[in-house]
Amino acid sequence: MKQRKRKKGGSAPGPLGQRRTIADKLAQRMHKYLQAKVVDLRSVRDGKMAAEDLRATVASSEKLAELHPAHALYVYAQNEFSVIAEHLLVLPEMRRFYDFIVDAEDMYLPGYPPMSPITGSYFSSWSLFDVPMGWANETVGTIVGAVGPTLGIHPELSRIFEILQASRMGIYRHEGPAAEDEDDTLIHLRDIITGQPYRTMSPAGHAGRPGELWYTRYWRTKPSRLTPAKGPMLARRPSQARPSWCQPTLPSTR
């Protein structure tokens, strides 16, 4: 994320004694803009150009067609979410998020070993869906969900955003490939805390071995199935793991 110059200012305070969420303040700004009788054409033009620049960086239709359908769905949703988040994070109401993410980015230099043990995909999911701010513990994900109707986000895309927001990092025991899977692309994982088993796929292509412990984020596609995001980090036998899957990882911000 590139640093941008921020303008001073913020949303007007609410009624005395009433605590408003960040999403409420952001929605108020949007409604005020939509109801304005005078439109700044230069801002509209600049916003359109910025959106086009961001969309040029996301996965193309051809690239998505090469992926497993379940994986392609989430790649597309993540791309769309990133474009929306980039626009919202420069608004005054989102300043705390913006400053925190920029500082964390400077500290951890997400990318790929040997420069950093934190991959870009891991950092992105953590910063957008895990980092809480304000008295209501809002994340960028919950805020996008709250203002989605105002932004005109399609309900089905909003549903995928909700699944992304509900995802979490966890430790799972590898219990071998799914018996019903002919090409060994599906893997049985078990949450070591809840004991819940899952039939999963690993988009990174890492099949692993039974007995391994995976530290990974999963996205549900339906109740009996989940999709780990990107590659797992091996919590056991790290000497046999690929460098990008080794710890350390980011600390909690709560």
Q: Which two tokens stand for residue 162?
A: 């909700």
Q: Domain of 31?
A: 22-165
Compute CA distances 199 → 64, 167, 185, 190, whole Å: 23, 16, 10, 9
Asked whether the CA dihedral 68, 58, 218, 209 is positive or negative, the reply is: positive
Res 25: pLDDT: 94
CATH number of the domain within which 204 lies: 2.40.50
Q: Examine residue 17 and state whether it is found in any structural domain, yes or no.
A: no
| Phi, psi (degrees; rounded to nearest 5) at 5 | -75, 135
The answer to the question of residue 12 being in a domain is no
Instruction: Choose one of 138, 165, 192: the last residue of a domain.
Output: 165
- Answer whether residue 14 is part of any domain: no
Which of helix, strand or coil describes residue 25? helix
Tens digit of pLDDT per residue, the chain (254 long)?
A: 555 554 444 444 555 457 899 999 999 988 887 776 655 545 555 555 555 655 565 667 788 788 878 788 888 888 899 989 999 999 999 999 999 999 999 998 898 778 888 888 889 999 999 999 999 999 999 999 999 998 889 999 999 999 999 998 999 999 998 766 555 578 889 999 999 998 888 877 788 899 999 998 888 765 444 555 455 655 544 333 333 322 333 333 43
Q: Are residues 101 and 221 in the same domain?
A: no
In this prediction, residue 245 carries a pLDDT of 28
pLDDT at 32: 83
What does the radius of gyration of the chain's CA atoms come to, in whole angstroms? 20
Claim to verify: residue 179 and residue 208 sit in the same structural domain: yes
The verdict on 140 and 230 lying in the same domain is no
Helix (H, G, I), strand (E, B) or coil at 183: coil
Q: Are 216 and 232 in contact (CB under 8 A)?
A: yes
Q: Are both 57 and 149 inside the same structural domain?
A: yes
What pLDDT does residue 12 have? 47
Number of domains within the chain: 2
Query: Which residues share a beta bridge with 228?
Result: 218
Asked whether residue 251 is assigned to any structural domain, the reply reads no
- The Cα 252–Cα 254 span in angstroms is 6
Angle at 160 between CA 137 and CA 45, to 5 degrees: 85
Same domain, 192 and 133: no
Q: The tokens 């086009």 sit on which residue?
A: 52
Encoded tokens for 130: 């895990």
Question: Which residues, in sequence order, are bridge partners of residue 214?
Answer: 172, 234
Domain boundary among 129, 148, 165: 165
For residue 3, tell me if it sits in a domain.
no
Residue 11 forms part of a structural domain: no
Asked whether the whole model's pTM tops 0.85, one would answer no
Nearest alpha carbon to residue 228 among 156, 150, 160, 169:
169
Question: Going by C-beta distance under 8 Å and a sequence separation of 6 or more, which residues neighbour residue 39?
Answer: none
Q: Do 134 and 40 lie in a common domain?
A: yes
Is the domain of 150 the same as that of 85?
Answer: yes
Inside any domain, residue 154: yes
Residue 242: per-residue pLDDT? 32
Residues 70 and 181 grouped into a single domain: no
Establish if 150 belongs to a structural domain: yes
Nearest to 168 by CA among 132, 212, 117, 115: 132
117, 148, 165 - which closes a domain: 165
Residue 187 shares a structural domain with residue 100? no
In this structure, the answer to whether residues 114 and 132 fall within a common structural domain is: yes
Amino acid sitting at position 104: A
Phi-psi region of 231 (alpha: psi -120 to 50; beta: other; left: phi over 0): beta
